[in-house]
Amino acid sequence: MSPSVKQNVSAKHRSPHRYPMGRTLVSLFGAPVAWVMQMSLSEPIAAYACYPRQVPLSAPLWVELPLILAVISLVCLAAGLLSGYVAWTSWRQIRNGSVVITKAANGHPDAGVDEGQTRFLTMLGMMSSSLFIVAIVFTCCAIFLVPPCSAWI
Amino acid sequence: MASADITERPIDDHLARVPEIGCAPPGSDIEVQLARTWESEPGWRGWLSTVDHKAIGLRYIVTAFIFLIIGGLEALLIRIQLARPDQTLLTPEQYNQLFTMHGVTMIFLYALPILSGFSNYLWPLLLGSRDMAFPRLNAFSYWIFLFAGIFMYVSFPLGQAPNGGWFNYVPFSGPTFNTGPNIDVFALGMVLLGISTSVGSANFVVTLFRMRAPGMTINRVPILVWGTLTASVANLLVIPSVSLAFFLLWLDRQMGTHFFDVANGGKPLLWQHLFWIFGHPWVYAIVLPAMGIVSDALPTFCRRPLVGYTAMALATMAVMLIGFEVWIHHMFATGLPTVALSIFGAASMVISVPSSIAVFAWIATIWLGRPVFKTPFLFFAGFVMLFVIGGLSGVMTAAVPLDWQLNETYFIVAHLHYVLLGINVFPVVGGIYYWFPKFTGRMMDETLGKLSFWVMFIGFNVGFFPMHWAGLLGMPRRVYTYSSRMGWDGVNMITSIGSFVFAIGVLIFLVNVVVSLKRGALAGPNPWDAATLEWATSSPPPAYNFAVIPTVASRHPLWEDRLDEGRGRSNFKEGLLLAEGREAISTSPIDAKPLAILKMPDDTSTPFFLGLFISLLFVGLLLHWWLFTAATAIAGSLALIVWLWPRKALAQRAMPQGDNNG
């Protein structure tokens, strides 16, 4: 594919509707990122604390390990809930019509302004936040219920 | 969403052009010109140089299916060996090579490439485009895939095929315990295949966000596209991990490094991490597009739209995202600390949430629709049942204590076959029945089709369900034979019988393909009365796909009248006329607003030669022919220079004043 030959039909059009991109990104990716952070921090810290060199330990390297894991989980849960709140308020704004969405003119290739994509992305954000808040809670259960360096007995 | 505006830049007046809007009915001057512009040259030169996504897609499908047949024949040999205790048909080493090549073939050379074939063929048609974003890269991806497959099979007839299982654990696959060329072939072949997968994935990502028809906003994209997009993003992130793992292993074996060598401070667990960081997302990459096939095709036979489109799109992406953080569930038995395992066990269980959303969406679509029991519907409905069984055994093994009991037993073999055959092969075969009219212009035979489904479905369940039982009885995987005193005789015999029944079902399907190619009823543009854009063009589609660029007004462009979706109507007869050479329209990522005319490349054999030289370079590395390796590197670089040389026709070089038509 080559660099494009610009056509001048579309570039002059500016969408009258502007929904904040930042809010959409937070509601779509906030909770997933919080969950990924929870996983990516908790697993290596827990693994290293219980198995730092060649021999596994019966107690963690640091006594504060449960506290560290708990703090990570709670911070990530808070971030997930915040993302969920942003998603929920965005969805309510769209649903209540606080944000104006203009319908496209019939059939014209260049007329599309918002054909439901904002509503779709907001709904997607709300579902994404809900699912990954559940994922964070699941991971919290593992952290709070399983002793860090125990054997499976 | 205003993201379209992100891409807006001042227009270079020198390059500016206003495209015409009009009609191009069949036989009109513009249509004839389009056909002449887009059709490939007949004969072997055209065959070698075509960059048409449809030709490449079909090549992917046919090649991958040939690999499926080869892998299937290997499986049948394995099942003959295991049908009865103390069999001596195969030696242990032959058995090792057979089960390894079976896994490598099915997982790497069949499962993803066949889905790439579907997506390559269908994406531009589904999206209302003229081609993929990077047609030459598309051809290059196919050639590398083909050469990588040949590369990995070349040592098989010599009795030196890969023999360490498809996940190839060290230290067994290291230089100390595996001295032949077997593992080197696998290691270099996987790095080579990784090139194909990476460039193909990049092409899909750019195509989705740049090549949709005007009006196909992000909420109107078919689920197959979501599935392939998700898989492609995942591949871009995880292929480097496995390529690195295999490259480091090759260095250990051939250059004396010690990345995985315990005696010299290497870490075998490093292999497992690098492999499974890739391996688990890969498992989802080879099922999510197949789930997309079902999500897009099933509604056609239920005579209603898919229930829960948004939830399905989310489920698709969420499964993959969670799939990045579950790789350690393949390593539960490695002695990692308990809380680390529990975290990954919890994450593995979370996957059941989006998976269940998908299952309920399919069931609700069937429940609320008016099912038409054609062959594709049977395959898709059968898939839903197999998905549930495979998913349930997956959730079971997410529990660490149970996994310890089941690890390395036939229970795991049963689970992965339910997942990979159930969620990949059944949708793929159903998809071929569904899109065969589009591929060839002919319908497949319904009687043979239904027969093939029932034989495959019964054979599959007779063959693979008892494997759960064999695992619970303690039968370990990868044993080349077993004693009659173990109590595994009956269950293995049933499994072997079922496998052969399944193979007969596949054979009936192949017979149906051959018969239908010659004698199938002629299909019109939309023989199933389906809703999506690919059915708006003729069967098979013309080289240019759409004479005018379609304008899309809803998620179901061909069902708008009956669904009364939205206010506007999609338009396939009148739209942007782009006929000054090979041209396509570029649109904005979210809103699908037209942004630019893209000058698309003509056919060229450069991708073939670049792929050939790179593959020969790997042959040189394998055989330690260093001069040959250097020569192929130079030849490959020259091919790349030819490929990338700026051309006026592609607007890559400044045009003289007055010649601004591109």
Give strand ranges (E) for B184-261. Answer: none
- At B446, the pLDDT band (50, 70, 90 cuts) reads very high
Residue B3 has pLDDT above 50, yes or no: no
- CA proximity to B121, closest of B573, B376, B430, B432: B432
- From the candidate CATH numbers 3.40.50.720, 3.40.50.10800, 1.20.210.10, 1.10.10.410, the one assigned to the domain spanning B45-519: 1.20.210.10
The number of angstroms, rounded, from the C-alpha of B650 to the middle of its chain's C-alpha atoms is 30
Of A2, A11, A103, which has the smallest distance from its Cβ to B598's Cβ?
A: A2
CB B348 within 8 A of CB B326: yes
Quick: pLDDT tens for B266-287. Answer: 999 999 999 999 999 999 999 9
d(CA B167, CA B212): 38
Which position has the token pair 């895939």? B145
pLDDT at B655: 59
CB B531 within 8 A of CB B365: no
pLDDT at B221: 95
Quote the minimal CA–CA distance from B29 to chain A in Å: 23
Subunit contact B595:A117, Cβ cutoff 8 A: no
Give the residue from chain B lying closest to A135, CA to CA: B350
Quick: pLDDT tens for B113-146. Answer: 999 999 999 999 999 999 999 999 999 999 999 9
Q: Which helix (H) or strand (E) holds B241?
A: helix B223-254
- Helix, strand or coil, per DSSP, at residue B576: strand
pLDDT at A18: 53
Give the residue from chain B lying closest to A49, CA to CA: B337
Of A35, A46, A119, which has the smallest distance from its Cβ to B337's Cβ?
A: A46
- At B340, the pLDDT band (50, 70, 90 cuts) reads confident
* Beta pairing class for B594-599 and B583-587: antiparallel
Subunit contact B310:A117, Cβ cutoff 8 A: no
Q: Answer left, alpha or beta for residue A54, where phi above 0 means left and psi between -120 and 50 means alpha.
A: alpha
Subunit contact B651:A117, Cβ cutoff 8 A: no
d(CA B307, CA B295): 9
Subunit contact A146:B586, Cβ cutoff 8 A: no
Subunit contact B314:A124, Cβ cutoff 8 A: yes
- CA proximity to A49, closest of A41, A60, A64: A60
Instruction: Report CA dihedral (B472, B478, B484, B486) to the nearest 10 degrees.
Output: -30
CB within 8 A of B436, min separation 6: which ones? B442, B443, B444, B513, B516, B520
d(CA B273, CA A11): 47
Query: Cβ–Cβ contacts within 10 Å for residue A54, how many?
Result: 5
Subunit contact A36:B19, Cβ cutoff 8 A: no
Query: What are the b/e assignments for B44-72, b being 16+ CB within 10 Å?
Result: eeeebbbbbbbbbbbbbbebbbebbebbb
Secondary structure of B340-382 as H, E, C letters: HHHHHHHHHHHCHHHHHHHHHHHHHHHHHCCCCCCHHHHHHHH
Subunit contact A105:B568, Cβ cutoff 8 A: yes
Best mutation target among B14, B270, B328, B339 (most A Cβ atoms within 10 Å) is: B339
CB B430 within 8 A of CB B224: no
Mean pLDDT over B57-83 rounds to 97
Average pLDDT, chain B: 93
Subunit contact A103:B553, Cβ cutoff 8 A: no
Residue B554 has pLDDT above 50, yes or no: yes
Give the residue from chain A lying closest to B575, CA to CA: A109
Subunit contact A109:B12, Cβ cutoff 8 A: no
Residue B11 has pLDDT above 70, yes or no: no
- ω into residue B26 within 30 of 0, thus cis? no
Q: Which helix (H) or strand (E) holds B182?
A: helix B182-210
- At A115, the pLDDT band (50, 70, 90 cuts) reads low
| AA letter at B262 | V
pLDDT at B336: 87
Quote the minimal CA–CA distance from A131 to chain B in Å: 8
What is the reported pTM?
0.92
pLDDT at A19: 64
Q: Where are the domains of chain A?
A: 3-145
In B, which residues are within 8 Å of A3 by CB distance? 650-652
Quick: pLDDT tens for B141-163. Answer: 999 999 999 999 998 988 999 99
Quick: pLDDT tens for A19-65. Answer: 677 888 999 999 999 999 999 999 999 999 998 887 888 888 899 99
* Beta pairing class for A5-6 and B594-599: antiparallel
In A, which residues are within 8 Å of B318 by CB distance? 32, 128, 131-132
Give the residue from chain B lying closest to A141, CA to CA: B346
Quick: pLDDT tens for B484-533. Answer: 999 999 999 999 999 999 999 999 999 999 999 999 999 999 999 999 99
ipTM here: 0.88
Residue B654 has pLDDT above 70, yes or no: no
Distances (CA, A) of B291 to B81, B306, B348: 34, 13, 19
Distances (CA, A) of B645 to B50, B434, B636, B651: 19, 41, 14, 12
pLDDT at B653: 77
